[in-house]
Amino acid sequence: MRMILVGPPGAGKGTQAARLVQNFRIPHISSGDMLRAAVKEGTELGQEADRYMKAGKLVPDAVVIGMILDRITKPDAANGFMLDGFPRTVPQAEALDAALKKAGFDLDAIVLIEVADDLIKERVTGRRSDAAGNIYHIKNNPAPAGVSVVQRKDDTEEACTERLVKYHGETEPILPFYEKKGILKRVNGVGSLDEVSARIRKALGTH
Protein backbone atom coordinates (compact mmCIF):
# COMPACT_ATOMS: atom_id res chain seq x y z
CA MET A 1 0.00 0.00 0.00
CA ARG A 2 1.55 3.28 -1.15
CA MET A 3 -0.33 6.17 0.37
CA ILE A 4 -0.22 9.81 1.41
CA LEU A 5 -1.97 10.96 4.59
CA VAL A 6 -3.43 14.47 4.62
CA GLY A 7 -5.75 16.53 6.77
CA PRO A 8 -5.94 19.77 8.73
CA PRO A 9 -3.75 20.31 11.82
CA GLY A 10 -5.39 18.63 14.79
CA ALA A 11 -7.34 16.11 12.70
CA GLY A 12 -5.65 13.15 14.40
CA LYS A 13 -3.23 12.23 11.62
CA GLY A 14 -0.43 11.25 13.99
CA THR A 15 -2.46 8.64 15.85
CA GLN A 16 -3.97 7.18 12.69
CA ALA A 17 -0.57 7.17 10.97
CA ALA A 18 0.86 4.99 13.74
CA ARG A 19 -2.00 2.53 13.34
CA LEU A 20 -1.75 2.43 9.55
CA VAL A 21 1.97 1.69 9.44
CA GLN A 22 1.44 -1.10 11.95
CA ASN A 23 -1.51 -2.58 10.01
CA PHE A 24 0.21 -2.52 6.63
CA ARG A 25 3.77 -3.03 7.96
CA ILE A 26 5.04 -0.08 5.97
CA PRO A 27 7.33 2.80 6.99
CA HIS A 28 5.91 6.17 8.02
CA ILE A 29 7.88 8.68 5.96
CA SER A 30 7.56 12.14 7.48
CA SER A 31 9.20 14.76 5.26
CA GLY A 32 10.53 16.64 8.29
CA ASP A 33 12.01 13.53 9.94
CA MET A 34 13.46 12.41 6.61
CA LEU A 35 15.19 15.76 6.09
CA ARG A 36 16.70 15.71 9.57
CA ALA A 37 17.88 12.10 9.14
CA ALA A 38 19.49 12.83 5.76
CA VAL A 39 21.30 15.85 7.19
CA LYS A 40 22.50 13.81 10.18
CA GLU A 41 23.70 10.96 7.95
CA GLY A 42 25.51 13.43 5.70
CA THR A 43 24.11 12.00 2.45
CA GLU A 44 24.64 13.98 -0.73
CA LEU A 45 21.06 15.24 -0.69
CA GLY A 46 21.29 15.78 3.07
CA GLN A 47 24.33 18.02 2.65
CA GLU A 48 22.52 19.98 -0.05
CA ALA A 49 19.45 20.40 2.17
CA ASP A 50 21.67 21.44 5.07
CA ARG A 51 23.16 24.29 3.02
CA TYR A 52 19.69 25.70 2.36
CA MET A 53 18.57 25.31 5.98
CA LYS A 54 21.71 26.96 7.34
CA ALA A 55 21.08 29.88 5.00
CA GLY A 56 17.54 30.14 6.39
CA LYS A 57 15.98 29.10 3.08
CA LEU A 58 13.38 26.47 2.24
CA VAL A 59 14.77 23.22 0.91
CA PRO A 60 13.82 23.03 -2.82
CA ASP A 61 11.07 20.57 -3.76
CA ALA A 62 13.45 18.72 -6.09
CA VAL A 63 15.77 17.94 -3.17
CA VAL A 64 12.91 16.71 -0.96
CA ILE A 65 11.52 14.56 -3.79
CA GLY A 66 14.99 13.14 -4.39
CA MET A 67 15.12 12.12 -0.73
CA ILE A 68 11.64 10.55 -0.95
CA LEU A 69 12.64 8.49 -4.00
CA ASP A 70 15.79 7.38 -2.23
CA ARG A 71 13.83 6.47 0.91
CA ILE A 72 11.11 4.42 -0.81
CA THR A 73 13.68 2.16 -2.47
CA LYS A 74 14.86 0.93 0.95
CA PRO A 75 14.01 -2.71 1.84
CA ASP A 76 11.47 -1.74 4.54
CA ALA A 77 9.38 0.03 1.87
CA ALA A 78 9.08 -3.07 -0.34
CA ASN A 79 5.41 -3.46 0.66
CA GLY A 80 4.67 0.25 0.34
CA PHE A 81 4.98 3.41 2.40
CA MET A 82 2.97 6.18 3.98
CA LEU A 83 4.06 9.71 3.16
CA ASP A 84 3.20 12.47 5.61
CA GLY A 85 3.90 16.22 5.36
CA PHE A 86 4.53 16.27 1.60
CA PRO A 87 3.17 17.35 -0.83
CA ARG A 88 1.72 20.50 0.68
CA THR A 89 1.12 22.46 -2.54
CA VAL A 90 -0.14 21.74 -6.07
CA PRO A 91 3.32 22.20 -7.69
CA GLN A 92 4.76 19.74 -5.16
CA ALA A 93 1.97 17.21 -5.89
CA GLU A 94 2.57 17.50 -9.64
CA ALA A 95 6.36 17.22 -9.30
CA LEU A 96 6.10 14.24 -6.93
CA ASP A 97 3.62 12.48 -9.23
CA ALA A 98 5.93 12.90 -12.22
CA ALA A 99 8.97 11.72 -10.25
CA LEU A 100 7.18 8.65 -8.87
CA LYS A 101 5.93 7.68 -12.34
CA LYS A 102 9.42 8.04 -13.78
CA ALA A 103 10.77 5.79 -11.01
CA GLY A 104 8.04 3.22 -11.67
CA PHE A 105 5.92 3.86 -8.57
CA ASP A 106 2.15 4.44 -8.44
CA LEU A 107 0.25 5.78 -5.44
CA ASP A 108 -2.64 3.60 -4.25
CA ALA A 109 -4.47 6.16 -2.12
CA ILE A 110 -4.52 9.66 -0.67
CA VAL A 111 -6.28 9.40 2.69
CA LEU A 112 -7.90 12.67 3.76
CA ILE A 113 -9.04 12.87 7.37
CA GLU A 114 -11.79 15.51 7.41
CA VAL A 115 -12.71 17.53 10.50
CA ALA A 116 -14.56 20.88 10.49
CA ASP A 117 -12.59 23.99 11.49
CA ASP A 118 -14.68 24.77 14.57
CA LEU A 119 -14.09 21.27 15.96
CA ILE A 120 -10.37 21.48 15.11
CA LYS A 121 -10.15 24.72 17.09
CA GLU A 122 -11.97 23.16 20.04
CA ARG A 123 -9.60 20.17 19.97
CA VAL A 124 -6.42 22.19 19.61
CA THR A 125 -7.10 25.13 21.93
CA GLY A 126 -8.31 22.76 24.67
CA ARG A 127 -5.05 20.80 24.71
CA ARG A 128 -2.80 21.10 27.75
CA SER A 129 0.47 19.38 28.65
CA ASP A 130 2.26 18.69 31.91
CA ALA A 131 6.00 18.77 32.68
CA ALA A 132 6.35 15.10 31.72
CA GLY A 133 4.91 15.77 28.26
CA ASN A 134 1.55 14.07 28.88
CA ILE A 135 -1.26 15.60 26.83
CA TYR A 136 -4.67 16.40 28.31
CA HIS A 137 -7.78 18.23 27.13
CA ILE A 138 -9.77 20.63 29.30
CA LYS A 139 -13.06 19.10 28.08
CA ASN A 140 -12.41 15.54 26.92
CA ASN A 141 -9.52 14.46 29.13
CA PRO A 142 -8.86 16.86 32.04
CA ALA A 143 -5.61 16.60 33.96
CA PRO A 144 -5.86 14.88 37.38
CA ALA A 145 -6.24 17.13 40.41
CA GLY A 146 -2.96 18.66 41.47
CA VAL A 147 -1.24 18.18 38.09
CA SER A 148 0.07 21.46 36.72
CA VAL A 149 -0.53 21.94 32.97
CA VAL A 150 0.24 24.60 30.37
CA GLN A 151 -1.00 25.48 26.91
CA ARG A 152 1.69 25.22 24.22
CA LYS A 153 2.25 28.17 21.88
CA ASP A 154 1.12 26.03 18.93
CA ASP A 155 -2.22 25.40 20.64
CA THR A 156 -3.40 29.00 21.03
CA GLU A 157 -6.39 30.13 18.97
CA GLU A 158 -4.21 32.53 16.96
CA ALA A 159 -1.67 29.82 16.07
CA CYS A 160 -4.41 27.32 15.24
CA THR A 161 -6.24 29.82 12.99
CA GLU A 162 -2.98 30.62 11.19
CA ARG A 163 -2.26 26.94 10.52
CA LEU A 164 -5.82 26.36 9.27
CA VAL A 165 -5.59 29.34 6.90
CA LYS A 166 -2.32 27.92 5.53
CA TYR A 167 -3.84 24.45 5.18
CA HIS A 168 -6.91 25.73 3.30
CA GLY A 169 -4.84 28.05 1.13
CA GLU A 170 -1.94 25.75 0.24
CA THR A 171 -2.66 22.10 0.96
CA GLU A 172 -6.40 21.77 0.30
CA PRO A 173 -5.94 22.70 -3.40
CA ILE A 174 -3.97 19.44 -3.95
CA LEU A 175 -7.13 17.41 -3.27
CA PRO A 176 -8.79 17.92 -6.71
CA PHE A 177 -5.50 16.84 -8.33
CA TYR A 178 -5.74 13.43 -6.64
CA GLU A 179 -9.54 13.28 -6.91
CA LYS A 180 -9.22 13.39 -10.71
CA LYS A 181 -6.94 10.37 -10.49
CA GLY A 182 -9.59 8.52 -8.49
CA ILE A 183 -7.35 7.78 -5.53
CA LEU A 184 -8.60 10.34 -2.98
CA LYS A 185 -10.28 8.65 0.01
CA ARG A 186 -12.29 11.04 2.20
CA VAL A 187 -12.68 9.87 5.80
CA ASN A 188 -14.78 11.47 8.55
CA GLY A 189 -12.31 12.21 11.36
CA VAL A 190 -14.95 12.77 14.06
CA GLY A 191 -15.45 9.97 16.56
CA SER A 192 -13.34 7.61 18.63
CA LEU A 193 -9.88 6.53 17.44
CA ASP A 194 -11.25 3.06 16.67
CA GLU A 195 -14.19 4.46 14.69
CA VAL A 196 -11.91 6.62 12.54
CA SER A 197 -9.48 3.71 12.06
CA ALA A 198 -12.36 1.50 10.91
CA ARG A 199 -13.49 4.15 8.41
CA ILE A 200 -9.97 4.40 7.00
CA ARG A 201 -9.72 0.63 6.60
CA LYS A 202 -13.10 0.59 4.88
CA ALA A 203 -12.06 3.42 2.52
CA LEU A 204 -8.91 1.47 1.64
CA GLY A 205 -10.90 -1.71 1.10
CA THR A 206 -9.15 -3.60 3.89
CA HIS A 207 -11.94 -3.84 6.49
> Annotated catalytic, 127?
yes
Contact 61, 92 (CB under 8 A): yes
Dihedral over Cα of 20, 25, 26, 32: its sign: positive
- Of 25, 40, 74, 152, catalytic: 152
- Of 2, 13, 128, 185, catalytic: 13
* C-alpha–C-alpha distance, residues 35 and 31, integer Å: 6
Beta pairing class for 28-30 and 81-84:
parallel
Nearest Cα to 184, choosing from 172, 166, 196?
Answer: 172
**Based on the number of CB atoms within 10 Å of its own CB, is 85 exposed (0-12), middle (13-18) or buried (19 or more)?**
middle
- Of 2, 71, 123, 127, catalytic: 127
> Annotated catalytic, 123?
no
> Annotated catalytic, 19?
no
> Annotated catalytic, 153?
no
> Annotated catalytic, 152?
yes
- Of 36, 88, 121, 201, catalytic: 88
- Of 36, 163, 186, 201, catalytic: 163
Any idea which residues carry the catalytic annotation? 13, 88, 127, 152, 163
